[in-house]
C-alpha cells in the first residue's frame, strides 16, 4: 500500500461513534433546519504561475433562502470532502441544520479534484484560501461571519492558510480545531508510527511546512480548541493542545478558548488536571455542535 494510504488511515480525523448519526435534537434543545446541497467546482489559480485547476466541493444550506453564517470544513488525514456527507460523526448536513451554509471540498490530490497530493503543505493552504473566498461570495452567505472547522491534521492546512494565504475577499472570524496535532513529534509519535516511516521528523524540508505550531501565533481570528480527555490520536496526552493554545494566546489571535475553560488563559503543563477536558460520555457530535453555536456569536 502507498505511504499516503497509510497516512490517510492513520490520521483519518473521524470521530468516535458515541452518539450515532441522528441529529442531537435533545442535547442541543433544538430541531434541525431542513437542508439541501449542491455540487460545485471551484477554480483555483495558484500564485507564481502554476497551472489552474478545479476543486470539487459540496455546499449544504438551509432551504429557506435566508442569508446565514458560513463554515468551511477542512478534512483530517487524507480524507476527501465527500466523507463529510455521512461517513463521519459530524457531517456537513449536521452543521447546516444549525443554520449555516457549509462547504466541504476534496483537497488537491484527493477524490474528484485529482492532481498530486500535497500532504497538508503550501498548495493545500493556498487552495483553502481560494475556497473560502468562493464561499464568501455566495448570495446566501454572511461574509462577515465565516468560520473554519478543521479536523485532526487539517489544522496544519487551516493555520497555514490563515498565516500565509489569508482570503482576499473576506475575513475569517474563527478557527474551530478538533484535536489537531501541533508538531512533527506528536504527528509521528516521536517516529514510532510505522505508517509515517517515510516521513521521519528529521526531514526538515518536509515537516517545516507542515507543523501548525509554526503558524498558530500568526492567525488573527478567534481560536477554539475541542479537546477530549481521551482523544482520537494522542490518548490522554495534552501537550499538543496546550502548545497551540498558549501560542495563539500570546500571538495575534483575537481570542483563544478550549472547551469550557476561560477565554485567553495560559495553560500550565503542571496543572493539566485542573482544566476542563471533554469526558468520554460527552465526547460526541452534540458537544461539538454546541460549541460551534457558541463561538460563532463571539
pLDDT for the residue 78: 86
Q: Report the relative pairing of strands 222-226 and 256-258 from DSSP bridges.
A: parallel
Query: Which CATH number covers residue 50?
Result: 3.40.50.1820
Question: What 3-state DSSP class applies to 180?
Answer: coil
Please indicate, yes or no, if residue 153 is contained in any of the structural domains.
Answer: yes
Query: What number of CA atoms fall less than 13 Å from residue 223's CA on the CB side?
Result: 33
DSSP letters, 116-141, are: ---TTSHHHHHHHHHHHHHHHTSTTE
Q: How far is CA 63 from the centre of its chain?
A: 25
* Within-domain flag for 101: yes
Task: Count the alpha carbons within 13 Å of 102 in the hemisphere toward its beta carbon.
Answer: 28
174, 295 Cβ separation under 8 angstroms: yes
Residue 222 domain boundaries: 3-17+27-295
Alpha-carbon distance of 247 to 182, in angstroms, equals: 10
Q: Is 18 left (phi over 0), alpha (psi -120 to 50) or beta?
A: alpha
Report pLDDT for 15: 43
Helix, strand, coil % over all residues of the chain, rounded to 5:
35, 20, 45
Residue showing cell 477554539 = 224
The three grid cell numbers given for residue 285, joined into one nine-digit string: 457530535
Residue 272 CB contacts under 8 Å (≥ 6 apart), including other chains: 238, 242
Question: DSSP per residue over 188-199, as a string?
Answer: HTTTT-GGGTTS
Task: Say how far apart CA 149 and CA 75 lie, in whole Å.
Answer: 9
Instruction: Please give the pLDDT value at position 8.
Output: 42
In a domain, 182, yes or no: yes
pLDDT in tens, the chain (298 residues): 344 433 443 344 444 443 446 899 999 999 999 999 999 999 999 987 789 999 999 999 999 989 999 999 999 888 999 999 987 879 999 999 999 999 999 999 999 999 999 999 999 999 999 999 999 999 999 999 999 999 999 999 999 999 999 999 999 999 999 999 999 999 888 888 787 789 899 999 999 999 999 999 999 999 999 999 999 878 788 999 999 999 999 999 999 999 999 999 999 999 999 999 999 999 999 999 999 999 999 9
Contact (Cβ atoms closer than 8 angstroms) between residue 247 and residue 222: no
The DSSP H or E segment spanning 155 is helix 154-164
Is residue 18 within 8 A of residue 284, CB to CB? The reply is yes
22 belongs to a structural domain: no
pLDDT at 16: 42
Q: Closest Cα to residue 88, out of 180, 14, 178, 11?
A: 14
| Cell numbers at 31, concatenated | 430541531
B/e letters for 176-197, b = 16+ CB within 10 Å, e = fewer, are bbbbbbbbbebbbbeeebebbe
Residue 99 falls inside a structural domain: yes
| Helix (H), strand (E), coil (C) string for 223-288 | EEEECECCECCCECCCHHHHHHHHHHHHCCCCCEEECCCCCCCCCCHHHHHHCCCECHHHCCHHHH
Q: How many domains does the chain have?
A: 1
The whole-angstrom separation of Cα 12 and Cα 38 is 25
Return the H-helix or E-strand segment holding 176.
Answer: strand 172-178
Amino acid at each position: 500500500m502507498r505511504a499516503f494510504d497509510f497516512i490517510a488511515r492513520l490520521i483519518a480525523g473521524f470521530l468516535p461513534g458515541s452518539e450515532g448519526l441522528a441529529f442531537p435534537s435533545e442535547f442541543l434543545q433544538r430541531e434541525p433546519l431542513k437542508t439541501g446541497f449542491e455540487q460545485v467546482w471551484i477554480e483555483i489559480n495558484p500564485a507564481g504561475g502554476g497551472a489552474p485547476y478545479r476543486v470539487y466541493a459540496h455546499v449544504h444550506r438551509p432551504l429557506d433562502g435566508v442569508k446565514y453564517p458560513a463554515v468551511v470544513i477542512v478534512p483530517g488525514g487524507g480524507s476527501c470532502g465527500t466523507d463529510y456527507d455521512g461517513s463521519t460523526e459530524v457531517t456537513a448536513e449536521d452543521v447546516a441544520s444549525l443554520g449555516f451554509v457549509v462547504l466541504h471540498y476534496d483537497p488537491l490530490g484527493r477524490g474528484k479534484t485529482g492532481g498530486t497530493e500535497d500532504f497538508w503543505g503550501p498548495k493545500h493552504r493556498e487552495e483553502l484560501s481560494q475556497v473560502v473566498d468562493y464561499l464568501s461570495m455566495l448570495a446566501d452567505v454572511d461574509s462577515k461571519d465565516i468560520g473554519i472547522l478543521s479536523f485532526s491534521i487539517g489544522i496544519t492546512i487551516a493555520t497555514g492558510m490563515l498565516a500565509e494565504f489569508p482570503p482576499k475577499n473576506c475575513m475569517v472570524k474563527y478557527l474551530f480545531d478538533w484535536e489537531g496535532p501541533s508538531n512533527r513529534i506528536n504527528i509521528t509519535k516521536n517516529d514510532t508510527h510505522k505508517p509515517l516511516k517515510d516521513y521521519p521528523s528529521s526531514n526538515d524540508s518536509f515537516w517545516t511546512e507542515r507543523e501548525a505550531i509554526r503558524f498558530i501565533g500568526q492567525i488573527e481570528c478567534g481560536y477554539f480548541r475541542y479537546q477530549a480527555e481521551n482523544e482520537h490520536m494522542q490518548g490522554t496526552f495534552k501537550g499538543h493542545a496546550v502548545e497551540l493554545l498558549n501560542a495563539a494566546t500570546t500571538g495575534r489571535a483575537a481570542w483563544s478558548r478550549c472547551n469550557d475553560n476561560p477565554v485567553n488563559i495560559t495553560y500550565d503543563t503542571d496543572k493539566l488536571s485542573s482544566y476542563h477536558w471533554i469526558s468520554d460520555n460527552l465526547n460526541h457530535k452534540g458537544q461539538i455542535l454546541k460549541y460551534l453555536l457558541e463561538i460563532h456569536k463571539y
